[in-house]
Structure 1
């Protein structure tokens, strides 16, 4: 299948590339559709780079879509237990080695946390970020609306971790998908092979659960930094992450918020055209037009 990015059948011809990148003791499996402006996609928990398959062909011409499996997921290795700071370092390596040292970054869920942390630490590398519903649960502490949501989500996540530790990975995936992330109709988003992929990546979720820094965000640095931010949110997603997005919008007044009607926590799977359109608008706002040929 040709994964060249295109808006119409007459879009610019691109070249699909793939390979492996050694970074921080891990090997990352990566894929890129090369034209001009690089956009790096960072997937969420249990997932891998294929979650972006529906979005990449819908991107505007002039975009280099760079996708990779985060360490410990699918085609990428991990030397022992992983922490979020290593995922941030991996993203920096992908931008430096595969994207010419500067890129727009798109993150989903846990990948959104990784993307925002990279924007804080390396604003010289990150041109902009678009993130969908980062699960920054500490933001709900003390919030009368969000704190009960946080507690309910935490209880489910603890049970998910217990299932993984006991080797019940399929139970873990089903509980996480239905109660924490995607809702009762989650099986409509993931076919049989994709559900097997989620189960195969479950151990890395356990690492995330044990990492004391995995939800940490420096909002003051984000608000004061130069990196443009777009927050996307679905109308039908988990209440906790919708509330987190509301708080992020309050704490990051320069950020743009885009709501995707009818979508939940995975619009790149359920509403790829709408998500791709939101990303195109974000890129236009962050001056992608300056890189396009006349």
Structure 2
């Protein structure tokens, strides 16, 4: 198993393809590098694709101290640098998209461009009274899942998160058993993320100067909290394109892999001339 020591933690990673253009994927909460399995083979035909397990997830090391999104950003930057992939296209899903956007603000020289699907940066909506009931509901759902993890019911917490937050009712049973086990195994790291006071924080001023091309995606079947966040980000990024993936939800790479691959290929091709 290929691992690399960055920032005092062992991270598992895989490189696929021999293309000249690096493409790095950053998975969201609960998940692992395997979440990209349905899109990697196609993209590896034209890119050098890096997938990895973020700290605390699956085959990467889990530390006992309280973690921070800042560590995830530093890990991503170190991976890109240590593996000689800079500048790279970086694509993140959910909390992985939040990490990608934070790195874009701190280390823009490492990116050719970014692709972000539905980052949960709900702090951007805090000043909108119309969003208050929805954000309160999200907070309550996160709290209920966190309490369940803390009680030791990792399987119940994973199912509850999938059905009340991420994918919707009656979706847990539709997930492959190996993916269910990944979610259950990574439950403690989700609790760690929730306990990080910076988890959902973001300042739009951080990315106003990010000039490389940015693609922001949403699914038309996703929870309604995400489009307003993406709209806020799109309002300040200077070189941005936003698209909606028809029929897709919060995990388009898993449910609509062909459409997701085509969106990435089209965007990179358009911005590589």
* TM-score (norm: length of structure 1): 0.88
Pairwise CA distance, 1:60: 6.7
- The match for 2:222 is 237
Structure 1 match to 2:140: 155
**1:64-79 alignment, distance < 5 Å:** 64-79=48-63
Is residue 27 of structure 1 aligned with residue 7 of structure 2? no
Aligned residues of 2:93 and 2:116 also touching (Cα < 8 A): yes
**Counterpart check, 1:110 vs 2:100:** no
User: Which residue does the alignment assign to 1:96?
Assistant: 81
**Structure 1 residue runs of 4+, over 4 Å off?**
none
User: Mind listing any 5+ residue stretches in structure 2 that lack a counterpart?
Assistant: none
How much has 1:245 moved relative to structure 2? 1.6
1:182 is displaced (CA, Å) by: 1.2
- Matched positions, count: 271
Match of 1:224 among 199, 209, 233: 209
- In the alignment, does 2:127 pair up with 1:164? no
CA distance in 1, matches of 2:228, 2:235: 11
Q: Deviations over 1:203-239 (max 9, x none)?
A: 1111110111112223223122223211000000011
Relative to the length of structure 2, the TM-score reads 0.94
Residue equivalent to 1:246: 231
Segments of 5+ residues of structure 1 without an aligned counterpart are 1-17, 290-294
1:37 matched to 2:24? The reply is: no
Q: Out of 146, 161, 165, which is 2:131 matched to? A: 146
Gap change, CA 1:271 and 1:148, over 3 Å in 2: same
C-alpha distance in 1 between matches for 2:3 and 2:251? 26
Q: CA RMSD in A?
A: 1.6
> Is contact 2:56–2:62 with CA below 8 Å preserved after alignment?
yes
Q: Deviation at 1:132?
A: 0.3
Preserved CA contact (<8 Å) 1:189 1:270:
no
User: What CA deviation, in whole Å up to 9, does each residue of 1:98-128 have, x standing for no partner?
Assistant: 2433211000000001001111111111111
How far off its partner does 1:29 sit?
0.4
Question: Could you tell me how far 1:195 is from its partner in structure 2?
Answer: 0.5
Query: Aligned partners of 2:130, 2:231: CA distance in 1, in Å?
Result: 11
